Each structure stands twice: as structure tokens, then as C-alpha cells.
Amino acid sequence: MGLLSEGSPLSWEETKALADHVREHGVNQFINLYHRLKDRQGDILKWGDEVEYIIVKFDDDQKVARVALRAQDLLAQLNEKELADPNGVKSLWRPEYGAYMIEGTPGKPFGGLMAHFNLVEANMRYRREEVTELLAKDECVMSITNFPRLGAPNFTYPLAQPRPEDPLSSARSLYFPDEAIFPGHPRFKTLTRNIRKRRGEKVSIKLKVFKDTKTKLPVEGAPPGEPDVVLLDAMGFGMGCCCLQLTFQACNITEARRLYDQLAPLCPIMLALTAASPIYRGYLTESDCRWNVISSSVDCRTEEERGLAPLDQQKFKIAKSRYDSIDSYLSPEGAKYNDVPLTYDEKVYKRLVEGGIDHLLAQHVAHLFIRDTVSLFSEKVHQNDNEDTDHFENIQSTNWQTMRFKPPPPNSSIGWRVEFRPCEAQISDFENAAIVCFVVLLTRVILSYQLNFLTPISKVDENMQTAQKRDACRKEKFWFRKSSKTTEQRAAKAQAQAQAQAQAQTNGKATLNGNGLANGNGNGSENGDQEEQQQPLTNGSAKMNGHGNGTTNGTNGSSNGSSNGADSDHTDTDDEENELFQLLSINEIFNGKPNVFPGLVPLIRSYLQSMEVDTDTHCTIEQYLRFIQKRAAGELITTATWMREQVLSHPDYKQDSVVSERINYDLLKRIQGIQEGKQVEPALLGQDYHSKTKTKDFIPPALQKQLAKNGCCEEK
């Protein structure tokens, strides 16, 4: 979302009356933009993260922590620099749903150099410091997924009380006051009201309480007949959570479709690995993640659409909320894994196909457009469908799914992109940077090795639910695609090389430099001119793998499955198809399981061995990979598990699932210590954790030279 333009929102009744208007023009706009942009080629890899933050205010006398409703005021200050120098800032700040939330991204996307991995954590640190400079001593900016006592009594500063009976209230929540919704733009309150009105009642978010020995049932506010449910009743409980997102630019639309598909099955896997939100409205729950909460928090489906009443006013029964995991793959290889029937209006689909859109993309867009607009501004009603895309974006941007397929914006130099949206926000910049760099590297490996993670949509859906279970990272198993021999062979080679290298290190011979890792073609010289040999992080079409062009230039609709190196040894018989999918633990998925899957991290290491990587970059990447391997192995625990342990071991905890004001305060204080590097938490970050990039101005020397030479500095 750009700097939000001001405008006048229409009433729900007006908006509702224009639903078909938005649909019709939105679809036309998509058809037009598709034809303008479908042949766009040769965009380079660019990528960037989005981190959402919560502003917390501590009362050190009373030992209470609250969310500070300061976002609007902070954003006014944070955006000043951008307004003065839009292309020169190191960070960009945007509003989010909560009046206590802000979203930060790098000032410019990162590019295709390996050395850019060094910039991520430093930039995240810069952002945190930039906000911190604007805060009072008792305030703190935190990348926590959920504020544990969000919706518990007096959780805001200044104090604000919910007004459930007030017809002018947007949320009408028993717990979440309208003052906690970002006040600086009407979009957020409008969405809140319209979703509630469309649904016909308040949203209803149900979480099972974590039952401890003295948990009192029914839980306060539990729905009738469901005594063990923590009930949340407002959009803010979900949209007021923070997450970590990533966007990648693909070289063309075909590569974007492929990346979208390949990353989709990894969404539940990354959700489980990044689980960070076990506490809601002051209760420990059975869930470790925000996903179902946020999904229910914007579930605008009517009773008819949810299948609770026979269809009468509405056209369809709809299986999921508009916030959920994706429902269909977009690439030809993905087609056969679209095993869940897609709901869409045949007329809309037909219009798209007649407009020249292929089946897979047409059904994707038609499916997005089963949703009605829930936010419309009077200034935007009448548009030129040949140029504008607002009606398309209106529906696209309120389909909040695990992956988003992003067409190039009108009149821009930006290409086709995909957004990876499942991850929960982690406490430290180190963790967030590790996740970001890991996923970016994974996209490179997918494209270079032509990996295939496609898993039937029904199984991905199942994995999404599994991922949210308590301690899923260590305890649950996930449907995962068994890999082919070729992939295994590659990984075996990679492992052998890694072992040889480790051996060499213990002998004191090798240094951790890029040349030493480059398949023996490096010269092992000193650091002097490494940066000259540094390779760009290319797109899949690059020469480095020799077979990338096959997929990137493939025409839509023609299957190129047979040319997929990684999977060409599979036939299509049902039997073998079934055997393709196995239940694996997170540890097995990341670290490998013999004869089944080499592991995501070994695959990345194997890829890196074919690249020239300078010492700094190698160190940076290695510490991230090691961290991810350890968390996947259960050697380090997830943020969610750590938070549970903090609560359960707190002297104030009464075995009743309640996270009291004091427990909340101490937990958040400890988190503050961790993010500032003052609190050591070996269970979370390991014994040897110490960040190399301590200050916001740190740029590794090798990178400085590189940037000076290429003139493509993102950070100066």
C-alpha cells in the first residue's frame, strides 16, 4: 500500500450497491493490464521485506504495559523525510490497522547481489532506531506478532473503552475500542464497519484456551456451549497483529507464476517455523499463530455463504474467508494439484477467457472476484479501465492470502512480483533478517535447480491448520513432496563438499571465504579482490544453471513439466503420485531426511557452493542458515514456545491460563531486552548469538567497495 491518499468513503449501503460495478470494471482493468504487461521481459531480481511493529508503553511503577496509540503522530514525523527526499531515504513507513502499529520497509528494494544479504539486518536495525529516536523513555517499538493482552481491560494508552452499544462505533466490540483503530485514514474503520455489516453480525474468532490445572471454565466471554473458547469479536484482534512479508520481482510473468506456485506449499512450513503468537486477550491458547485469528477477523461471509443457511440472497457457498491460504496454482505444472473445486462466477470467468486470459489465471482472478468490495471511496468510483487499476486493486488487496500475485503497477518500472505473506514477526532483527534471507535464497534455489514443491491444495490447506497447533514446529508432521533422485544427488554432493570443507577447517586450512566454496575454481587468495568475483543473484533465466530458459520463456498453458530437471524421473500414475507426498517433520523438511528429501538448508548450501561469495556475506548467510537449522531441529525454540515458557514459569502465574498485567509487563520487558541485545536467551537465539551488524550505519567493507564500484548503492 502506498502513502494512502485521502478520500471520502461511501456508506456500506452505497458500497454494496456498487459491488457489481467494481467487479465489472475491476475485471476489465485486469484484462487490459494483462495485455499491456504480459510480454514484459527481463526484469531483474529485486526484493524487499515489510516488518510491522507495535508501539508499547511501559508503566514501570505499576508494572503495566499497554499499546501506545501513537502511530499517526509517529508516521507524520517518519514520513517527513520521505516527503522531502522520496528516493533518498533508507526506510519507508506506512500505516497499519492498529493505532499502535506501523509498517516499515527498506527505502528501496534490495537487488541481485549476494552482498545485499548483509544489508537486511542493518536496515531493520536502522528502522528500529529511527522510530526509537521519536519515542519517550517509557515507550518501545516491538516486532511482536500480537500484544498478549490486546483486548484485555485497559490495554491502550491513553485509556479507551469499547462501546459495543454505540451505533456509531465501527467495531461495536466488547473488547477492542475504535480508538485502537488507526485514525489517520478512513480505510481501516470503513473496512471494519463494512465487513461487520456485510456479514450481518460481528466477526467471531474462536480459540481454544490452553487448559492448565486451574483454568476456570467457562472462560470469560466464552460463547454459550463452548466454555473452553476464548472469543474475540473484532477485526482488530487479527488485523491488529504484526507479520513479516517479502516481495520478489520475477523476470517475467511466467517466472512469477512459477514462484507463486512453488512458494505456496512452503507457506504453512514457514508459518510453523515462525510461530510467535500463543496469547490472546490475556489468555494462553492452544494456538501458536495468528493465521486463523486474522482469517476470522475479516470474515465477511454471510450465513448463506458460510453454509449455515440455504442460498437465497447470495450466489455461492464460499469455503474460506477472504483472508486465507491460496486456493489455486497458477503455473501449468501446478494445474494438476488444484484439487479443491474453485468457487467463481462462470460469467466472470468467461469474460476473462474471452478477454484473452488463460484458464489458470482466469480462474484465479474470477475466484478473487467472488468477494464484494468492502471499501470504496467516492473519488474512485468512475475510472478509465484502459489506464486505471483501482477497482482491480480494490478486490486484489482485500484478498489477503498466503501468496499474492502482484501485477506491475501502472506507469512504473516495476515488474511482475510475488509476495510471501505467512510469516509471523520475530522479536529480533537478527531473526527477521534470517527468515527474509532464507526465503530469498530459497527462491534462487527453486529457480536454478528447478525444484518442485507442488503439493495438492487440499494438503496445503491441511498443513496450514497443522502449522498453528501448539509447538507444531517440534511436534507435528506436514505433507511434503518427496524429491526426485536428481535433487537428492545434488544434495548428496553438496553434503559431501560441506563435510570436506568442515574437515579442512578443522585442519586450519580453509578460510570461510567465497573462493573456498566455489567448487574448486576459486584461487583461495586473500580477501583483496573477492568482490570482483562476486556473482549477481540472478533470476532463474540466468546462465548459471543452463536450463532456466525453458521455464521462463514457456508459453502459458503449455506444460513444461517434462523438462523439469528436478522431477523428470517421475511418471504420472496415481500410485506414484500418492507416494510423492509424505508426512515430514519441520526438522526433516529443513535439515533433510535420507532417501526422501535433502532438506531446504542443504539445498541452499549446495546452491551457494556454485556461487562466488565474499567472506562477510558468507558469514552473514551462514549464521542465518545455522539459526534456521537449529530452530527447525528443535534445538532452539520458536518465539511462541518461548513465550509460553515465560508465562508458565512466572511467579505470578496461577496455572489458570491467565496472562496477568504483571506477567505481560515482565514478558514485554524481557522482549525489549532481547531486541536491544541486553538480554541473552540461549533457548531462543543460541549460545553463540551475537550480531555482527550492531549499528545502523554498519556496511561491511567488502560491500562498500562493491557498491561504490557498481554505483547501485541502496543504502547511501
Q: Are 551 and 654 in contact (CB under 8 A)?
A: no
Q: Smallest distance from the beta carbon of 625 to ligand ADP, in angstroms? A: 22
Which of 18, 160, 353, 414 binds ligand ADP (CB under 6 A)? It is 414
3-state class (DSSP) for residue 406:
strand
- Quick check: 47 binds ligand ADP (CB under 6 A)? yes
- Quick check: 247 binds ligand ADP (CB under 6 A)? yes
Q: How far apart are CA 591 and CA 608, in angstroms?
A: 16
Sign of CA dihedral 441, 127, 630, 497: positive
- If the CB atoms of residues 97 and 478 are measured against Mg ion, the closer one turns out to be 97
Q: How far apart are CA 249 and CA 366, in angstroms?
A: 24
- Quick check: 121 binds ligand ADP (CB under 6 A)? no
Q: Which does 46 bind (CB under 5 to 8 A by kind): Mg ion, ligand ADP, none?
A: ligand ADP
- If the CB atoms of residues 50 and 228 are measured against Mg ion, the closer one turns out to be 50
Q: Smallest distance from the beta carbon of 349 to ligand ADP, in angstroms? A: 26
Q: Which does 49 bind (CB under 5 to 8 A by kind): Mg ion, ligand ADP, none?
A: ligand ADP
Distances (CA, A) of 378 to 6, 19, 381, 519: 11, 13, 6, 61
Which of 123, 143, 190, 249 binds ligand ADP (CB under 6 A)? It is 249
Distances (CA, A) of 143 to 123, 401, 407, 644: 14, 21, 29, 17
Q: How far apart are CA 267 and CA 463, in angstroms?
A: 9
Q: Smallest distance from the beta carbon of 190 to ligand ADP, in angstroms? A: 18
Q: How far apart are CA 556 and CA 361, in angstroms?
A: 9
Which of 95, 109, 177, 238 binds ligand ADP (CB under 6 A)? It is 109
- Quick check: 103 binds Mg ion (CB under 5 A)? yes
Which of 27, 29, 30, 48 binds ligand ADP (CB under 6 A)? It is 48
- Quick check: 245 binds Mg ion (CB under 5 A)? yes
Q: Which does 393 bind (CB under 5 to 8 A by kind): Mg ion, ligand ADP, none?
A: none
Q: Smallest distance from the beta carbon of 1 to ligand ADP, in angstroms? A: 5
- If the CB atoms of residues 246 and 472 are measured against ligand ADP, the closer one turns out to be 246
Q: How far apart are CA 245 and CA 50, in angstroms?
A: 5
- If the CB atoms of residues 50 and 588 are measured against Mg ion, the closer one turns out to be 50
Q: How many other β-carbons are positioned within 10 Å of the β-carbon of residue 112? A: 18
Q: How far apart are CA 422 and CA 161, in angstroms?
A: 32
Q: Smallest distance from the beta carbon of 2 to ligand ADP, in angstroms? A: 7
Terminal-to-terminal C-alpha distance of the chain: 25
Which of 43, 50, 130, 324 binds Mg ion (CB under 5 A)? It is 50
Q: How far apart are CA 352 and CA 10, in angstroms?
A: 28
Residue 459: CA atoms inside 13 Å, Cβ hemisphere, count?
20
Rg (alpha carbons) of the chain, rounded to whole number = 25
Q: Which amino acid is at 610?
A: S
Which of 106, 265, 456, 516 binds ligand ADP (CB under 6 A)? It is 106
- Cα angle at 693 between 688 and 696, to 5 degrees? 145
Number of residues that bind ligand ADP (CB under 6 A): 17
Q: How far apart are CA 453 and CA 584, in angstroms?
A: 13
Q: Which string of x and - marks every residue 198-217 that binds Mg ion (by CB under 5 A)?
A: --------------------
Which of 201-210 are b and which e, b meaning 16 or more Cβ less than 10 Å from the residue's Cβ? ebbebbbebb
Residue nearest to ligand ADP (CB): 48
- Quick check: 3 binds ligand ADP (CB under 6 A)? no
Q: How far apart are CA 98 and CA 664, in angstroms?
A: 19
Q: How far apart are CA 282 and CA 296, in angstroms?
A: 19
- Quick check: 1 binds ligand ADP (CB under 6 A)? yes
Q: Which string of x and - marks every residue 628-647 that binds ligand ADP (by CB under 6 A)?
A: --------------------
Q: Which string of x and - marks every residue 78-97 that binds ligand ADP (by CB under 6 A)?
A: ----------------x---
- If the CB atoms of residues 247 and 483 are measured against ligand ADP, the closer one turns out to be 247
Tell me whether the omega of the peptide bond preceding residue 223 falls within 30 degrees of 0, making it cis. no
Q: Which does 414 bind (CB under 5 to 8 A by kind): Mg ion, ligand ADP, none?
A: ligand ADP
Q: Which does 109 bind (CB under 5 to 8 A by kind): Mg ion, ligand ADP, none?
A: ligand ADP
Q: How far apart are CA 279 and CA 283, in angstroms?
A: 5
- Quick check: 393 binds ligand ADP (CB under 6 A)? no
Q: Are 605 and 590 in contact (CB under 8 A)?
A: no
- Quick check: 393 binds Mg ion (CB under 5 A)? no
- If the CB atoms of residues 271 and 348 are measured against ligand ADP, the closer one turns out to be 271
- If the CB atoms of residues 120 and 330 are measured against ligand ADP, the closer one turns out to be 120
- Cα angle at 567 between 405 and 245, to 5 degrees? 25
**Among the residue ranges 46-54, 119-127, 363-371, 455-463, the one whose residues contact Mg ion (CB under 5 A):** 46-54
Report residue 418 as a C-alpha cell.
Answer: 510475488
- Quick check: 260 binds ligand ADP (CB under 6 A)? no
Residue 552: CA atoms inside 13 Å, Cβ hemisphere, count?
24
- If the CB atoms of residues 181 and 360 are measured against Mg ion, the closer one turns out to be 181
Q: How far apart are CA 393 and CA 385, in angstroms?
A: 12
Which of 153, 303, 295 lies closest to 220, judged by CA?
153
Q: Are 514 and 118 in contact (CB under 8 A)?
A: no
Which of 23, 46, 367, 644 binds ligand ADP (CB under 6 A)? It is 46
- If the CB atoms of residues 10 and 425 are measured against Mg ion, the closer one turns out to be 425
**Among the residue ranges 229-237, 350-358, 413-421, 461-469, the one whose residues contact ligand ADP (CB under 6 A):** 413-421
Q: Which amino acid is at 270?
A: M
- Quick check: 123 binds Mg ion (CB under 5 A)? no
- If the CB atoms of residues 106 and 236 are measured against ligand ADP, the closer one turns out to be 106
Q: Give the interface with Mg ion as residue ranges (CB under 5 A).
A: 50, 103, 245
Name the site residues for ligand ADP (rule: CB under 6 A).
Answer: 1, 46-50, 94, 105-106, 109, 245, 247-249, 414, 417, 419
